[in-house]
Amino acid sequence: MFTGTNIVITGGTGSFGKKCTQLILNNYKPGKLIIFSRDEYKQYEMAKKYPENKFPCIRFFLGDVRDKERLHRAFQEVDYIIHAAALKQIPSTEYNPFEAVKTNVIGAQNIIDAAIDQNVKKVIALSTDKAANPINLYGATKLCSDKLFVSGNVYSGGKTIFSVVRYGNVVGSRGSVIPLFLESKKHGKIQITDTRMTRFWISLSQGVGFVLDCLKRMQGGEVFVPKLPSMKIIDLANAIAPDVKHEIIGIRPGEKIHEIMISKDDAINTVEYDNYFVIKPSICSENYYSDGTSVADNFEYSSEKNQVRLSKGQIIEMINNKN
């Protein structure tokens, strides 16, 4: 599907973008792979890894999703967009709320408008479990972004199709608790927010692979949710540092004890497949994902109720193979 096509990855110098670039270049031969981000130093470092003489398809494009004119330029003759750019740190977005709105909400609208104007074929946007029943600003902006991308299909008239991928915590990514625990281990104390806390977990490679698969199968307007294992944060701490003292500090502003990826309100529009769920838009044809199995009306996909849990051995293996 991607061979000979032009692809843009927004936020392309982040954890997801770098892994996505690696997998695309290893498995496909795109015409152009455009890395769009606002960090010139990260682009410089990434360009050293992918020199032009060895990777003639790659392009580095400085820009911000807040700048619609720059997006219009970046999306010229582009077939597919993977939208990974976002402000993601919960404490930072709580303290700087409108900066998150500018990037995560207005930036999403800019992506939609520019993609339609430039006749892009497909746009897939990355979301988060924090967008389901959000209690923090980051989650609220991503929920708004999700709604914009779903509705973008109406504005495009089917010429450009938009979909969303929602998943949980990425092992070892920027902001992940694992690097924090590993660093805290050196000082003989690990801080735990709440011993009851659970989270969904996915590796970086699994996340990228799922997004690329969804980009191939997407029909427009759906939210894809992978089936993932959960773990207790206290189990993670014990696996990383079994003999290190724990300090219970309480949850941070905007944090949940448990995360949800599919709420009970979304269950009526959700169908299940072997390895993932699809949340269909509220208005769709009868044939839209008709081969999926409808979930129960009171279904909720939460890290607390999830039956698939990681064992201590699996947690250790996950940490050692975090990519």
Examine residue 252 and state whether it is found in any structural domain, yes or no. Answer: no
The pLDDT of residue 322: 64
Strand 198-202: give its sheet, edge to edge. 169-170, 198-202, 230-232
Q: Which structural domain, as residue segments, surrounds residue 207?
A: 6-167+202-227+263-301
The pLDDT of residue 126: 98
Q: Can you tell me the mean pLDDT for 180-209?
A: 87
In the chain the beta strands, taken as DSSP E runs, fall at 6-10, 32-37, 58-62, 80-83, 122-126, 161-165, 169-170, 189-192, 198-202, 223-226, 230-232, 245-248, 260-262, 270-272, 276-279, 293-294, 301-302
Our answer to whether residue 147 is catalytic in this structure is no
Q: Annotated catalytic residue: which of 88, 122, 130, 256?
A: 130
Q: Write down the mean pLDDT value for the chain.
A: 92
Q: How many domains does the chain have?
A: 1
Examine residue 273 and state whether it is found in any structural domain, yes or no. Answer: yes
Examine residue 307 and state whether it is found in any structural domain, yes or no. Answer: no
Examine residue 176 and state whether it is found in any structural domain, yes or no. Answer: no
Examine residue 50 and state whether it is found in any structural domain, yes or no. Answer: yes
Count, residues in the chain? 323
Asked which of 10-14, 119-123, 239-243, 266-270 is least confident by mean pLDDT, the reply is 239-243
**pTM, whole model, 2 decimals?**
0.94
Q: For 206-238, how does the pLDDT look when each residue is reduced to its tens digit (9 = 90+)? A: 999 999 999 999 999 999 999 999 999 998 888
Q: For 24-58, how does the pLDDT look when each residue is reduced to its tens digit (9 = 90+)? A: 999 999 999 999 999 999 999 999 999 989 999 99
**175, pLDDT greater than 80:** no
Examine residue 186 and state whether it is found in any structural domain, yes or no. Answer: no
Examine residue 233 and state whether it is found in any structural domain, yes or no. Answer: no
Give the domain CATH number at 15: 3.40.50.720
Examine residue 282 and state whether it is found in any structural domain, yes or no. Answer: yes
Q: Are 89 and 78 in contact (CB under 8 A)?
A: no
